Amino acid sequence: MTQTVARPGAGAHQAPLPLDVEAIRADFPILSRTVRDGKRLVYLDSGATSQKPRSVLDAERWFYENVNAAPHRGAHQLAEEATGAYEEARSTIARFIGARTDEVVFTRNSTESINLVAYALSNAATAKEPGFRRYAVGQGDEIVVTEMEHHANLVPWQQLCERTGATLRWLGLTDDGRLDLSDLATVVNERTKLVAVTQQSNILGTINPLGDIVARAREVGALILVDGAQSVPHQPVDVTELGADFLVFSGHKMLGPTGVGVLWGRYDVLDALPPFLTGGSMIEVVRMEGSSFMPPPQRFEAGVPMTAQVIGLGAAVEYLQRLGMDNVLAHEEALTAYALDRLAEIPGVTVIGPPDTVARGGAISFTVEGIHPHDVGQVLDDEGIAVRVGHHCAWPVVRRYGVPATTRATFYVHTGYDDVDALADGIRKAQQFFGVVPSEATEEA
Amino acid sequence: MQLESMYQEIILDHYRNPHGRGLREPFEAEVHHVNPTCGDEVTLRVHLEGDTIADVSYEGMGCSISQASVSAMYDLVIGKSVPQALETGDHFMTLMQAKGDASVAEKLEDELEDAVAFAGVSKYPARIKCALMSWMALKDASARALSVTDPVGGPKA
């Protein structure tokens, strides 16, 4: 199928991007492979999982080839070196978010980090030690989330409420993809025990005004958990500025390996929480009658940890620091502005989420009139373009906007204008393939 | 260009002009199936006369593959006994597991009629579930319909 599509906007915004895309692409081995019969891989699915630069892969290989041992056990040289490398990565990652090293807990991913907090809050009600009962959640208490949360920051709270008899409440959304804070003062009230909110929506791209929410939570004495799975990889995040009690994020979405995530918590809060998973490493003294536990972060790291992955995540953080998170943010802002313009040129394409770049990240969800998102994704895939289709683990959001699903493109440090052009051309191709090329006249304003 | 191998013209025809769409009375069983990875949904009713499928009526939303599949299934199963329809479903499952092997499609051409056009879908593991959703719903609904109807005909008193 040949294609002669006018591209009136192409080139209009092509000011140099803040990051050197060609140099960065050379760092990612996977970007040199082809897909679907020799096509260049246009990877626009970093929001699901990011690709890994060579330095991350090398760090993991270095660990297994030179150091491999279980950290925090044993007194042999490898064990010492493994412990050193593991803890050094913890320091690197802590500095990256402006945190104290002993406030960084390693988990499997953001999902596990959130479950850790949710289970700690219900375990608190039955904790033997009075010091662990401070944040107990029970009947009459309320947990607040928002309608734009990823299932990972919704379902664990629904389950916590089911276990404890607490009530789940939520902040709704406006038509343009922002949090509706008009009832913040009533939804977050003196019964609220915890507010869980995403910093950047994985489906809408919205960057939330956390300041207002944090201030209200403080007023009523509620804890605040920020889901940073989509923010920490894409913008500078400093926990001292955030003002929250918890921040969670996943290594695999920020150039790091799968199988490692982070729970950051204010030390005094972590210290007052009972453990979630129990076993080796997290204990102080074990007797047949019962056990006592280590202080944070060890209290929350039961079992031999994912050492190579933690070291890989340390390397990913160093890679991002070399690029500079301000540059990463500016890079994605430029791409987002360009992509929103390019998509707006295509009749029948509707972006679900903020229509401009104000307080907006680079997750762009859209629908194409007359073509189901799955079918859009299939045509894009045929062109070598990897996007996500479906409800993006945020089913209430697609329901809120009255669409069955969306197609989502997400950007990262190796994304260039050429990737966005490929996306726009691919969408037009899907319209031609399915015979739905709306006329400019019917385009929605 | 591999798109045409999946989106055969027959599939696109069923998608644009679905056969038997809409929910109708009477029916003995109604089921609602979803594909949790993508949110596709189908509500499907089965009306039996004895053990013969007299009507299958449905509403759904989803991609072209899932919508065309339920339309092609409608053509295949009306007038068949439940065991015959389920056997056809088994053939369709075999086709979906063929990983694009053309010889499998050839052998099943008589049994599957239009539905043999879905052979190209079997090359795309992520889309097989889209094609199978309606058949799963039919299996479920017919089992329920049989359990509430008298085998010699008509609903149980």
Of B15, A287, A362, A73, which Cα lies nearest the Cα of A351? A362
Output the pLDDT for position B148: 87
Residues B29-56: pLDDT tens digits? 999 999 887 778 999 999 999 999 999 9
Cβ-based contacts of B41 with chain A (< 8 Å): 404
Put simply, the answer to whether A372 touches B63 (Cβ < 8 Å) is: yes
Told to judge if A161 belongs to the known catalytic residues of this protein, a careful annotator would answer no
Put simply, the answer to whether A404 touches B61 (Cβ < 8 Å) is: yes
Put simply, the answer to whether B64 touches A434 (Cβ < 8 Å) is: yes
The residue annotated as part of the active site, out of A226, A393, A422, A427, is A393
Put simply, the answer to whether A1 touches B40 (Cβ < 8 Å) is: no
Going by pLDDT thresholds of 50, 70 and 90, the confidence category of residue B117 is very high
Output the pLDDT for position A3: 43
Output the pLDDT for position A364: 97
Output the pLDDT for position A443: 43
Output the pLDDT for position B149: 76
Cβ-based contacts of B40 with chain A (< 8 Å): 374, 404-405
Is B34 at the interface with chain A, CB within 8 A? Answer: no
Low-confidence ranges of chain A (pLDDT < 50): 1-8, 441-445
Name, in order, each residue with C-beta under 8 angstroms of A338's C-beta and a sequence gap of 6 or more: A13, A14, A417, A420
Q: Which residues of A92-119 are buried (b: 16+ CB within 10 A; e: fewer)?
A: bbbebbebeeebbbbbbbbbbbbbbbbb
- Nearest-by-CA chain B residue for A383: B1
Is B136 at the interface with chain A, CB within 8 A? Answer: no
Put simply, the answer to whether A374 touches B40 (Cβ < 8 Å) is: yes
- Nearest-by-CA chain B residue for A374: B63
Task: State how far the Cα of A407 lies from the Cα of A424, in Å rounded to an integer.
Answer: 12
Is B157 at the interface with chain A, CB within 8 A? Answer: no
* Average pLDDT over every residue of B75-82: 96
- What tokens does B69 get? 């599949």
Put simply, the answer to whether B2 touches A382 (Cβ < 8 Å) is: yes
- Nearest-by-CA chain A residue for B125: A378
Torsion of CA A15, A19, A21, A25, to 10 degrees: -170
- Nearest-by-CA chain A residue for B13: A434
C-alpha to C-alpha distances, A212 to A209, A216, A325, B92, nearest whole angstrom:
6, 6, 24, 55
Task: State how far the Cα of A109 lies from the Cα of A54, in Å rounded to an integer.
Answer: 21
Query: How far apart are the CA of B7 and the nearest CA of chain A, in angstroms?
Result: 9
Contact A214/A239 with Cβ under 8 angstroms? no
C-alpha to C-alpha distances, A371 to A430, B41, B127, nearest whole angstrom:
8, 16, 16
Of A205, A217, A273, A206, which Cα lies nearest the Cα of A244? A217
Helix, strand or coil, per DSSP, at residue A200: strand
Output the pLDDT for position A65: 98
Which residues 403-432 on chain A approach chain B with CB closer than 8 angstroms?
404-405
Put simply, the answer to whether B2 touches A398 (Cβ < 8 Å) is: no
Which residue among A378, A404, A405 sits closest to B6, beta carbon to beta carbon?
A378
Query: How far apart are the CA of B48 and the nearest CA of chain A, in angstroms?
Result: 31
Task: State how far the Cα of B108 lies from the Cα of A222, in Å rounded to an integer.
Answer: 63
Output the pLDDT for position A14: 76
Output the pLDDT for position A143: 98
Cβ-based contacts of A404 with chain B (< 8 Å): 39-41, 61-62
Interface A–B counts its CB contacts (< 8 A) at 48
pTM of the full structure: 0.92
Residues B79-115: pLDDT tens digits? 999 999 999 999 999 999 999 888 999 999 999 998 9
pLDDT at B157 over 50: no
Cβ-based contacts of A375 with chain B (< 8 Å): 7, 63-65
Output the pLDDT for position B4: 87
Output the pLDDT for position A439: 60
